[in-house]
Each structure stands twice: as C-alpha cells, then as structure tokens.
Structure 1
C-alpha cells in the first residue's frame, strides 16, 4: 500500500530561523499520529510546513505519491491536505450550514454526515459562527475540514481551552473518524494521556527534531519517556492506561 503522507527530511522555519530540522515520517491511509512535545519545540511549525505556510529549507512532502513540496497552500488543499489550525478560522459571519456548504467537495463526507458526527451542529445549523461556543466552533472547524474530503487531516491543539465534557465529546468523535475513514491524521495535543488512547502512532519533538517514535500504546506504557520528554510523571502515566 502506498503511504498517504511522506515527509522526507523536512527542514523549515520562519525568516532565517530553522525551527524544524530534518523530520521524516510516513502515514498510511487510516493511521492517526499523535505529535507531542513541550511548548515551542516545533509542533505547529511542522504542521505549517505540511500546509505550506512556512519557509522550507530542505526536504520533500508527498501525498499519495504526488510530490506537493512546490505547491502553494491552496494547491496543497486541493491535493488532499485538510487543516484545522489553533485559530479555527471559521467564517463567523456565516451560519453553521453555510460554513460547511461553502467549502464542501464531493466525497464520503458531506453536511449530513458531519451533523451525524456532531449533533450539536445540526441543532445550531442556522446560528452564525460567532454565536457558537468555543467547543461548537471547534466541532465546526473539524467539520469544515472533513467536507473537503481530505486524504490528510492536520489538527493543531483541537481540545485547547475546551471544557472537559466537550473535550471527551470531541475525542470520541475524532476516534470514530480515525477508525472509520481512510484519512491519514496528525494531531498536535498537549494532553498526551488522552490523545494516545485514540491514535496509532506517536512522535515526540524536541528542538525541532524527533526524539521518540513508536506506537501510541508503547508510549502510554513508557513512563520514563513521558516524564523525560513531556513532564508527565509516573503516577500520571499510570492513570493514562487506567
């Protein structure tokens, strides 16, 4: 099976500053990767490099065997890269339904399926984006990425700032997406314990380079790696698989 996403020695940053240095990874269709690390180590920059909004110093990116390295961000989106940034970037002056239909492309994900995944959005389909709670805006941002029917889905801190009950609701939805669809997904997440439960693979970045790579299950069991690289203590790690 051809790898859906391949990064080969990606080095990227902003201006003259190199933030991500020589990162390589592969994801197959349906695989979900947790991208972990402390603040400021390059996680968001790596996603931005895949989207095409950073300066690339070296390396290549391919989607379904197609080299997209030289493409603009809009061209990469058409090539199959879907993105949910921290800022969410929903259209706040449009209704929920207009947000979804404005960007939809043909494929298995349509407005009806998004509503089935996020019933809160169906209930608020006529509300403007700026009338939604933070959790509802995040669900809408994910829904907007899905109706593009991407081959690769990038999620940057999807649970940040959300109430615990909404975090659980969103993680359950993401788990279903990971299990039901042939989308290669990368999730940047501060809550390592939570995201490792629903992803297949994990990498930890430090100073722009990969310092740990393995299965999510293995990392959940590896208390020393969690403590060393993420500051997650042994007792916290034990709760992660409880």
Structure 2
C-alpha cells in the first residue's frame, strides 16, 4: 500500500528448530496502531521478537518502510527504525534516568526534553538511578528510551502488566498522546483488551501462532462473541 509502514508476508519463525509462528501476514499503515492480542502462549511475544530480529527465521518476509529487513541483525533493524520495549524493560539500572536517555538518544523529533514532557515523573526523577524507580516509572523510562531513538515503529510488549491502576491511567494517557500527535506506528501486546483497543486502529488475535482474527480495533471492541471466544473477555 502507498502509505504502508510495515508488511509481513507468510512470516514463520520460532526458537531454534521449534516453529511458533505459522504464516503471519499483516500490513500496518504509517502512523497506525495495532493491538496484538491472544491468550498466554499464543505467539504474541514471538511475533514482536521476530520483528525485532530476536528469533529464528523459518520463512516469509518483513518489510519496514519499503526496506526488506528480514535478514537484518537486531542492531541494524533498530537503525532502520524499530523501537522495542520488552516485558523486561531493559533499562540501565546503574545509570540515572537522564543518563539512560542521553546514552541512546538520536537526532529527531523525540528529544530528552520531549520525553520529559510526556512523562513528567521522569523529569522529577532525572537524577535517580534506574534501580531506584518504581515498576511504573521503569516502564515509563523504557518507553522514553525507545522514543528518543526516534523509531518509525514502536513495539510494546505488555506495557501495563503488573502496574497500579493510577500508573496504568498515566501510561494510557501518554500512549494516547503519541497516537494522536505523532505519525509513529505502534504494535502493542496487551492482555487487557478493553484498555488498549480504544487507542488502536487495528487488531489481530493470535492463537497457536496463527492469526484467528484481523480487523479494526473498533470492530473487535464491539464484537462480544470474538472477545469471549478468543480472549475470554466478558463485558
């Protein structure tokens, strides 16, 4: 598509010889946000890890902004525009908040100061070490670190997992600000479907490494049958 940012075709991948993904084909428009949903073990993290270059490629292609990145190493995918926030967050715990950000920042729209505007808590704690932050603050720092890389595509693996409700609300507000103010593509893995679907344009549900639902986020949010069947989500 003319305004496409990401396209995967018949993507198959896993860990070593074990295959997890079975032919995933998806297209994400520039500036669009995709909710990646499914039960535990469905292949969601494997798909995001595959986009980041961290799994064994078994077949298919990945094209980012017109560039085939299928065979690129993780660091070259990051340079091509992949920003990745894993569940483990991967912040530098022995560095301050500011050092975490300045250590990885690249020239672009997202500066350290813009990250502080998005996450005022981080500005207040700019001199704190990573291991002195709460879990929610570490998550904010992990997202801010990915943003100051100025990626084209941001991958978020369960950003709300294990956080207090007040922090979840803050993160959702920040994600909404990104969605509404930037032409930054995002793929968000989340167990809390009803939290994340209102922020997204599209949704995919995986089951055993296969896409069992692809459609608009609004369509899925309104589809009680699909939510119940595939995600055990009830109103």
| TM-score band, normalised by shorter chain | over 0.9
In the alignment, which residue of structure 1 is the partner of 2:124? 123
In the alignment, which residue of structure 1 is the partner of 2:23? 22
Deviations 1:52-87 (A, max 9, x none): 010010011111100011110000000000000000
Give, in whole Å, the separation in 2 of the partners of 1:176 and 1:125.
21
In the alignment, which residue of structure 1 is the partner of 2:142? 141
1:29 Cα deviation from its structure 2 partner: 1.5
Does structure 2 retain, via aligned residues, the 8 Å contact 1:97–1:126? yes
Give, in whole Å, the separation in 2 of the partners of 1:202 and 1:179.
18
In the alignment, which residue of structure 2 is the partner of 1:69? 70
In the alignment, which residue of structure 1 is the partner of 2:162? 161
Q: Establish whether residue 192 from structure 1 lines up as the match of residue 204 from structure 2.
A: no
In the alignment, which residue of structure 2 is the partner of 1:218? 219
1:38 Cα deviation from its structure 2 partner: 0.2
Give, in whole Å, the separation in 2 of the partners of 1:63 and 1:180.
21
Give, in whole Å, the separation in 2 of the partners of 1:20 and 1:187.
17
1:183 Cα deviation from its structure 2 partner: 1.1
Does structure 2 retain, via aligned residues, the 8 Å contact 1:30–1:179? no
In the alignment, which residue of structure 2 is the partner of 1:37? 38
Give, in whole Å, the separation in 2 of the partners of 1:195 and 1:47.
17
3-state SS in 1 of match to 2:103: helix
* Equivalent residue pairs, number: 234
Report the RMSD for the aligned CA atoms in angstroms.
0.6
Give, in whole Å, the separation in 2 of the partners of 1:8 and 1:65.
13
Q: Which runs of 5+ in 2 are unaligned?
A: none
In the alignment, which residue of structure 2 is the partner of 1:150? 151
3-state SS in 2 of match to 1:196: helix
Give, in whole Å, the separation in 2 of the partners of 1:179 and 1:14.
36
Q: Which runs of 5+ in 1 are unaligned?
A: 237-242
3-state SS in 2 of match to 1:212: strand
TM-score normalised by the chain length of structure 2: 0.98
In the alignment, which residue of structure 1 is the partner of 2:173? 172
1:203 Cα deviation from its structure 2 partner: 0.5
